[in-house]
Amino acid sequence: MRNRLLLYAALAALALSWASVSLFASRPAAAQKVAPVTRLGASGTWEAYEDDAPGGKICFLVSKPSKIDKGHAKPDDVRMSVTHRPADKVANVVNFILGYRAKQDSDALLDIDGQKFPLFTNKDGAWTRDAQTDKRVVRAMTRGRNAVIKAEPERGTPTADSYDLTGFTSALDLIDKACGIRR
């Protein structure tokens, strides 16, 4: 189960690496052919993408936090994503890129308008422990207004980053439609 979660985490991290704002518009045409990622649209701070990857379509949404703590080694790298990979029967994979290396064997805590979800950390990422929790987190985000992730870096003080959930549901609808996910 843990290996499967790490595979999902790697997929989500890969999706986040593709989703840098304005990254695709500045790439030469040859590079765009290597990574055929299509921007589906945006709503609020949330951007939706589709990738017709050779192993199967990947759909994901991504956002930067609306408020970020100062303790980040790489504040520009802080992001949150939700990924679908229908060819692998995977949907709603929730992933956070923390912007620093998390303290070893530490957990993070996601708070969505008072609903709390424990996350495990590995290097600079945080994920839920199973697909059911992913589904519950995504459902809470569609109904919520604000999400706060609290985590502890290897060095320094714990951080708390906030994500504005305005537009999340609309961006989720875009990736659901692109990947054929029904709610």
Spatial contact of 17 and 60, defined as CB atoms under 8 Å apart: no
61-115 pLDDT, tens digit each: 999 999 998 767 677 889 999 999 999 999 999 999 999 999 999 999 999 999 9
pTM, rounded to two decimals: 0.81
Q: Given this model, what pLDDT does residue 35 score?
A: 57
11-23 pLDDT, tens digit each: 444 444 444 333 3
Which residue in 9, 170, 17 sits closest to 93, CA to CA? 9
How far from 15 is each of 74, 140, 144, 171, CA to CA, in Å? 18, 22, 24, 15
Query: Cα–chain-centroid distance for residue 33?
Result: 24
Q: Given this model, what pLDDT does residue 124 score?
A: 95
Q: Which CATH number fits domain 2-179: 3.40.50.150, 2.60.40.10, 3.50.50.60, 2.60.40.1880?
A: 2.60.40.1880
39-57 pLDDT, tens digit each: 999 999 999 999 998 899 9
